[in-house]
């Protein structure tokens, strides 16, 4: 009788060990599957530019700037926006400031009575997660001469949209900047070059199927639907000569940069 009891106990222990091992294997495989679907990419805020582009990069609390001392504007400004960063206690204060460590950085007087807004590339509403980040986003190295109707209209509408997208997708990567062409010779203040247009490229890298979209707005009132200004990232790369999101695996980069579906981005 005792021998039978021990046999039953041993069989139960073996069964438990087998089940536990299978559970651990399934859990590990499930975690690996989740990690493979949600990798953490690095270097997405790095933009590659042609050697001829005058550029020096500066890191601020919530964003990175490539600054052009000849144009006295950024070439581009890049940042990752987490959904949690759309909420915060830091208040907008409008204290614009010149960074003397940035060669060619304008003063606030360069924009005074110019007819153009000091247009944020990285907006203040996306930096309220930190008082230091809020202060930094008012650096003049983050500004471009921007038509007021664009700044308060279509550009502002896109900024509101991207915050909603960051909340929905957990995080997005954004790069924004001016577009110049050979005919752009108008300046304000002490040689701040006025761009003819602005671009913004957005990437949602952590969703099940990564996607990207781009927008280009002329530096003037831009009425109508946002869809009228949609481009692919590839299109903007051709316009600017920049290479965005080069740290992505090539297959993903090629896929997301060749497509732009406003319908997919605008789903709730």
What's the token pair of residue 171? 């995080």
What's the token pair of residue 32? 């690996």
Q: In terms of domains, do 59 and 92 share one? A: yes
Q: In terms of domains, do 16 and 82 share one? A: no
19: left (phi over 0), alpha (psi -120 to 50) or beta: alpha
Domain that residue 24 falls in = 1-37
Say what the pLDDT of residue 268 is: 75
Q: What gap in Å lies between CA 25 and CA 173, rounded to an integer?
A: 34
Supply the pTM of this predicted model. 0.85
Say what the pLDDT of residue 8 is: 42
Mean pLDDT by 10 residues, the chain (268 residues): 46 45 38 43 94 97 98 98 92 96 98 98 96 98 98 97 96 98 97 99 96 98 93 98 97 97 92
β partners of residue 146: 117
Q: In terms of domains, do 189 and 220 share one? A: yes
3-class SS at 197?
strand
Cα three-residue angle 241-82-151, rounded to 5 degrees? 55
Residue with tokens 């009575």: 113
Q: Which of 244, 241, 245 is nearest to 50 (CA)?
A: 241
| CATH number reported for the structural domain that contains residue 66 in this entry | 3.40.570.10
Q: In terms of domains, do 80 and 162 share one? A: yes
Q: Which of 85, 106, 87, 89 is nearest to 97 (CA)?
A: 106
- If one counts the domains in the chain, the total is 2
Q: In terms of domains, do 150 and 189 share one? A: yes
Q: In terms of domains, do 103 and 120 share one? A: yes
Q: In terms of domains, do 96 and 217 share one? A: yes
Q: In terms of domains, do 62 and 106 share one? A: yes
Say what the pLDDT of residue 40 is: 75
């Amino acid at each position: 009788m005792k021998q039978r009891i021990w046999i039953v106990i041993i069989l139960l222990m073996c069964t438990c060990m087998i089940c536990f091992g299978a559970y651990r294997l399934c859990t590990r495989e499930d975690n690996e599957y989740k990690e493979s679907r949600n990798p953490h990419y690095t270097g997405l805020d790095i933009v590659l530019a042609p050697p001829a582009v005058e550029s020096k990069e500066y890191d601020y609390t919530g964003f990175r700037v490539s600054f052009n001392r000849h144009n006295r504007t950024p070439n581009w400004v890049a940042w990752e926006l987490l959904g949690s960063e759309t909420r915060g206690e830091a208040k907008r204060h409008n204290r614009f400031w010149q960074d003397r460590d940035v060669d060619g950085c304008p003063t606030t007087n360069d924009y005074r009575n110019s007819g153009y807004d000091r247009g944020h590339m990285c907006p203040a509403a996306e930096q309220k997660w930190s008082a230091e980040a809020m202060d930094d986003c008012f650096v003049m190295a983050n500004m471009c001469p921007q038509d007021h109707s664009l700044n308060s209209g279509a550009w502002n509408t896109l900024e509101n949209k991207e915050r909603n997208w960051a909340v929905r997708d957990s995080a997005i990567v954004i790069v924004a900047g001016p577009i110049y062409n050979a005919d752009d010779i108008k300046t304000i203040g002490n040689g701040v070059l006025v761009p003819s247009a602005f671009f913004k490229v957005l990437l949602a890298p952590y969703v099940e199927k990564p996607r990207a979209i781009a927008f280009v707005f002329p530096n003037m009132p831009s009425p109508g639907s946002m869809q009228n200004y949609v481009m692919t990232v590839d299109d903007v790369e051709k316009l600017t000569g920049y290479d965005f999101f080069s740290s992505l695996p090539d297959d993903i980069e090629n896929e997301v940069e060749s497509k732009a579906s406003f319908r997919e981005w605008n789903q709730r």
